[in-house]
Homo-oligomer: A and B are copies of this chain.
Amino acid sequence: MGKHHDHQDCLQALRPIRDTLDVISGTWKLQIIISVNAGNRRFTEIQRSIPKLTPKVLAKELKELEQNGLIERTITEGYPILIEYFPTDYAHTLDQVVESLQYWGENHRRHIFGKDSKKEKETK
């Protein structure tokens, strides 16, 4: 009913928004993407680059990231077999999303803790 932006639009926007959040949220997904982008290719290399990340969780996350086209798993035959993970071009389509999340988060921290410094939040 509204000319540009009504309630139904908002509700219909929820599905793609949920999809995006499912793809990038969770404790490890963005960290893994960053690690692979930084040049880590092998399973144990990625694992060692991210403190506290266990192999069980890494294996699961890598599968999901691969299914979503954000990384590529390659097998190079030979002795021994070589398994590597690479960033995809498609992963860069996330850049604007990540940037806007980062920007808002930085501003929000100022908004909440800036003037009114009653509360402190764990910086960890």
Contacts and interface: CB of A to CB of B under 8 A. Distances in A.
Contacts of A17: 30, 98, 101-102, 105
Give chain A's interface secondary structure class.
helix
Interface string A38-70: 100000000000000000000000000000110
> Chain B CB within 10 Å — which of A25, A102, A112 has the most?
A102
Contacts of A69: 111-112
Contact of A20 (B13, B34, B68, B101): B101
B108 A20 contact: yes
B21 A101 contact: yes
Contacts of A21: 21, 24-25, 101
Interface of A: 7, 10-11, 13-21, 23-25, 30-31, 34, 37-38, 68-69, 90, 93-94, 96-98, 100-109, 111-112, 123
